[in-house]
Structure 1
Amino acid sequence: MKDLGHGANVDVIAQKYNLNPRDIIDFSSNINPSVIPGLEKYILEGLRACTSYPDINYVNLRSNISDYININPNFIIPGNGATEIIYLMMKSIGKSIAILNPTFSEYERSARLNNLEITNILLDKNNNFEVDIDNIEANIDKFDSLFICNPNNPNGKVKKIENLLELLQKHDKLLIVDETFMEFVENEEGYSLIKYVEEYDNIFILKAVTKFFGLPGLRLGYGVTSNERIIENIYKYKEPWTINSFADNLSNYIFKEEDYIKNSKKYYINEREYMLKSLREIKSIRVYDTDTNFILIKLRQNTASELKNKLIEQGKILIRDASNFIGLDESFIRVAIKSHEENEKLIKHMKNLLGD
């Protein structure tokens, strides 16, 4: 089985180190550690619904998402996680794409599988991964579409990118924005481009339910666009019934959990500050700013694989070796922000291994 180079390889690590997977604290996967109240009851409702096929058009699901993001339900394409939508997008757009790196590897993998010409444009890791509009404009003739993750994975920083949208509209190019981590951002409304979807038809936005609501196994994501041609193309390729009854049923509840949403945002605002401050006490690392639920770190002395092995051996802690992101090297790791107690344990072990 090919290793696709993502986090959350808990079972593989457990087998390698002869550990119980449940004993490993997984900092490699960027998931909210809390879930909505009443989850078990809603799962049982979904189980009862499993005796029938889900609605092939997902009218109720799209309506629930529509109410949540205040967008016409006809502009919403639900998928089996945002990853399904990524792969459908690559079948449905032009012949060439630019990708801002370092970022999620499935953008490039899905593009290659669909024989798209790829232009990788590097973000400057020495300048907090800023988006260089001039560099993008200099490469504008090399692509039909541009893919950006905002907030970006692996560094977690959110950007104001209205100027990028306007640039691509001027040149009749498509802007694809992965906003799967946007809900973790403190001022989400100020950065999300969802509000421009009905005004601009050269934008496609990816969203995921599984990250913020702590349900990665649920596999529920969606795309948003007002571009009728892209919507029609996607549905030419989209398989029927890719979303199960559990996810369909849960959509009746999760988006209405206002207290959960508010408390999760508040938690991450406070815990980010704690984590950044505590990690920056370790002088042998560089800690990058973040606006979401994970932190990119550059090791000044150790390699990512060395630290990953030591943390497993000494603390049963799994981190993300970020060396396989385009533009990064073996000195980069990424850690999730988990429960406060788990975060304390990570910081304690990192200080023990790397020094204060």
Structure 2
Amino acid sequence: MKDLGHGANVSQIAQMYNIDSKEIIDFSSNINPKVVSGLEKYILEGLEECKSYPDINYTNLKNNISNYIGVNSEFIIPGNGATEIIYLLMKSINKRLAILNPTFSEYGRSATLSGLNVVNLNLNSEQQFDIDIEEIKNNLDKFDSLFVCNPNNPNGKVKDLNELLNLMKQNNKLLIVDETFMEFVGEEEKYSLVKHIKTTENLFILKAVTKFFGLPGLRLGYGLTSNKGIIEKIYKYKEPWTINSFADTLSNYIFEDKDYISESKLFYINERKFMLQELRNIKNIQVYDTDTNFILIKLNDRRSNEIKVELLNKGKILVRDASNFIGLDESYIRVAIKSHEENKILIKHMKKLLGD
């Protein structure tokens, strides 16, 4: 398969550098290191369910998501990860899409494969990748839908999108928001636009179980919208049975694990503070603020690929070379926030390579 330039390519990297993949500490993928309590038991239950086809309508799954997110189940579209929903959505919207960059490359890739005309707009890197409302206003006649990631990947900063949503509503355009990292945010309720789903058809939100619940292999995500036209088009293209029995079964339990959710949020509030403080003690880098589970770093006088290779060779640490994000260059890397002990290992090696 073509290299799509994402993180989490541990097996490939292990082969390239002749390292045992089990020895690599993967800071390239942004996954919660905490494990849901009772996971093994739920998986065994899901194994029993594998003897039958999943419910083609995902009624139980949608009800579980509905109870968790507080949105009517008729507005929920489950998918095989948020990525499936992205690709289905690109087939279901009007032909002109604007994307705020730098951001996740699959937005642009899926749009291009679906024949959409893509307009790349820029976030302001000198102002913590702020959204330039004036630039969006100046380009309103060039797009029908606007795609924004919040908190944004790769810089991790959450933004208040209410002004942007109002602008889209006033001009009858669709705002697509990827909130797959929103659950890591300390003030999630303040920034999430889920509360607006019922009252506006000019909004589509992406969510995922992958990141916050630490289950990337489960491949469970979902879209939220009250736009009946988009819902109908998505189901026109959606393949049946794309979500397996394990995902359906685990949805009975993981969304109800309040201790896991609160402990994970508190862990990241504290660990973000620790990581930002320690990394900012390194003089030769610029560390961007973050509200989620990863940190964007600009190297002042080194190249991202050089640091990536040195960290692999000297510490068996894999970081994300962020040079292939639109709007970034070879001076950027991204690192996940992992367990406290693993984070200390990363900081130790970065100080050795880059100096205190």
Structure 1 position 52, deviation (Å):
0.3
Any idea what SS the aligned residue of 1:92 has?
coil
Query: Distance between the aligned counterparts of 1:2 and 1:70, measured in 2?
Result: 38
Q: Deviations over 1:112-158 (max 9, x none)?
A: 00110110001011110000111101000000100000000000000
2:313 is matched with 313
Match of 2:53 in 1: 53
Show structure 2 runs of 5+ residues with no match: none
Query: Structure 1 unaligned runs (5+)?
Result: none
Match in the other structure for 2:82:
82
What TM-score comes out, normalization by structure 2 length? 1.00
Distance 1:102 1:285 in 2: 19
What is the aligned-residue RMSD (CA, Å)? 0.4
Specify the SS of the correspondent of 2:176. strand
Give the aligned residue type for 1:108: G
Normalised by the size of structure 1, how large is the TM-score?
1.00
Aligned counterpart, 1:243? 243
Q: Which amino acid aligns with 2:47?
A: L
* Matching residue's letter, 2:142: K
Name the structure 1 match of 2:264: 264
SS at match of 2:97: strand
SS at match of 1:77: strand
CA displacement at 1:189 relative to structure 2: 0.2
User: Which residue matches 1:125?
Assistant: 125
1:41 partner letter: K
- Report Cα offsets for 1:192-220 as digits up to 9, x if no partner: 00000001110000000110000000000
Is residue 227 of structure 2 the alignment partner of residue 227 of structure 1?
Answer: yes
Letter in 1 for 2:339: S
- Cα distance in structure 1, aligned partners of 2:112 and 2:218: 27
Amino acid at match of 1:352: K
- Partners of 2:218 and 2:180 lie apart in 1 by 15
1:1-356 equivalent positions in 2, closer than 5 A: 1-356=1-356
Secondary structure of the structure 1 residue equivalent to 2:283: coil
Q: Which moved more, 1:12-21 or 1:238-247?
A: 12-21
The count of corresponding residues between Structure 1 and Structure 2 is 356
- How far residue 16 of structure 1 moved from its aligned partner, in angstroms, is 1.1
Partners of 1:350 and 1:30 lie apart in 2 by: 19
Q: Report the alpha carbon displacement of residue 18 of structure 1 after superposing the two structures with TM.
A: 1.1
Q: Using the alignment, how far apart are the partners of 2:344 and 2:90 within structure 1?
A: 41
- 2-structure distance, mates of 1:322, 1:17: 19
Give the partner amino acid of 2:140. I
Q: Distance in 2 between matches of 1:41 and 1:322?
A: 38
Question: What amino acid maps onto 2:187 in structure 1?
Answer: N
1:295 partner SS: strand
Aligned residue for 2:146, secondary structure, equals strand
Deviation at 1:20, TM superposition (A): 1.1
Segments ≥4 residues shifted beyond 2 Å: none
2:114 and 2:96 map into 1 onto residues whose CA distance is 10
Per-residue CA deviations over 1:25-44 (Å, capped at 9, x if unaligned) read: 00000000011100000000
CA distance in 2, matches of 1:95, 1:339: 43
Deviation of the 1:87 alpha carbon: 0.2
Distance 2:19 2:48 in 1: 35
- Which AA in structure 2 matches 1:238? K
Please state whether the residue corresponding to 1:261 is helix, strand or coil: helix
Separation in structure 2 between the aligned mates of residue 139 and residue 23 of structure 1, nearest angstrom: 48
Separation (CA, whole Å) in 2 of partners of 1:89 and 1:278: 40
TM-superposed deviation, 1:162: 0.4
Partners of 1:261 and 1:8 in 2: CA distance:
24
Q: Distance in 2 between matches of 1:247 and 1:319?
A: 29
**2:239 alignment partner AA:** E
Secondary structure of the equivalent of 2:91?
helix
Alpha-carbon shift at residue 107 of structure 1 (Å): 0.1
* SS of residue matched to 1:236: helix
Equivalent position amino acid for 2:331 in 1 = S
Q: Indicate the SS of the match to 2:296.
A: strand
Cα displacement (A) at 1:2: 1.1
The residue identity in structure 2 corresponding to 1:314 is K
Query: Deviations along 1:64-120, whole A, 9 cap, x unmatched?
Result: 000001110000000000000000000000011000000000000000001101100
TM-aligned CA deviation for residue 17 of structure 1: 1.4
CA distance in 2, matches of 1:134, 1:170: 15
SS at match of 2:206: strand
Distance 1:47 1:279 in 2: 43
Q: In the TM superposition, what is the alpha-carbon distance from 1:308 to its structure 2 partner?
A: 0.2
